[in-house]
A and B are shown apart, each in its own frame.
Chain A
Amino acid sequence: QQPVQSPQAVILREGEDAVINCSSSKALYSVHWYRQKHGEAPVFLMILLKGGEQKGHEKISASFNEKKQQSSLYLTASQLSYSGTYFCGTEITGNTPLVFGKGTRLSVIA
């Protein structure tokens, strides 16, 4: 079942923060996050495994709340280069294909 992402779209000014959520009605094994620029391939950001871990690098981090079956992606002090569509992909077991959400379109303006 397709995970639900929110919000569908968000506009930020440079330097502002954003949170993108990804929720599932099923128990998850892992959550993947990708960013896609228009007309390009999705680029991998990070993976979170069940166990409620939090990961991050530089100003982009994510958490996975196993009780809620929800992952959140945090973008702090946004830059113009953060613009794009963010997708979460969820996995029920460790060897099944990812099911992607519909995406969140993020636009960062000067």
Chain B
Amino acid sequence: DGGITQSPKYLFRKEGQNVTLSCEQNLNHDAMYWYRQDPGQGLRLIYYSQIVNDFQKGDIAEGYSVSREKKESFPLTVTSAQKNPTAFYLCASSILGAGKQPQHFGDGTRLSIL
């Protein structure tokens, strides 16, 4: 079955540590997205990519970094510069021209600070 796989489901970060969240899709979608979700805030866009080796900042990119070396993969690194990383992180993908196409979401990674 096609879909988006995020791992791990739960992640704990120590102070000063970088952590990487994995996102893999086998839907052959060109576009991939990372969202952060906090209670009462909705989904806020961190980064997105529409093509391999290219990505764009979203509304809250500070303290995060991404790479897109393969079409299927879009990992997100939460760096030590992100002072409040505790949140639910969602990865999504879509066909380009998403105005007519839905976004498909992974099951999310819940990140907490130790």
Contact = CB atoms under 8 A, between A and B. Distances in A.
A95 B98 contact: yes
Nearest to A93: B99
A105 to B, nearest CB: 9
The residue among A89, A93, A97 with the most chain B CB atoms within 10 A of its own CB is A97
Interface residues of A, number: 25
A97 B99 CA distance: 9
A64 interface: no
Nearest to A3: B42
Interface of B: 33, 35, 40-45, 48, 50, 58-59, 88, 90, 96-108, 110
Interface of A: 2, 29-30, 32, 39-44, 47, 49, 87, 89, 91, 93-95, 97-103
22 contacts: A39-B88, A39-B110, A40-B107, A41-B90, A41-B108, A43-B105, A47-B102, A91-B98, A91-B99, A93-B99, A94-B97, A95-B97, A97-B33, A97-B48, A97-B58, A97-B98, A99-B45, A100-B35, A100-B42, A102-B40, A102-B42, A103-B40
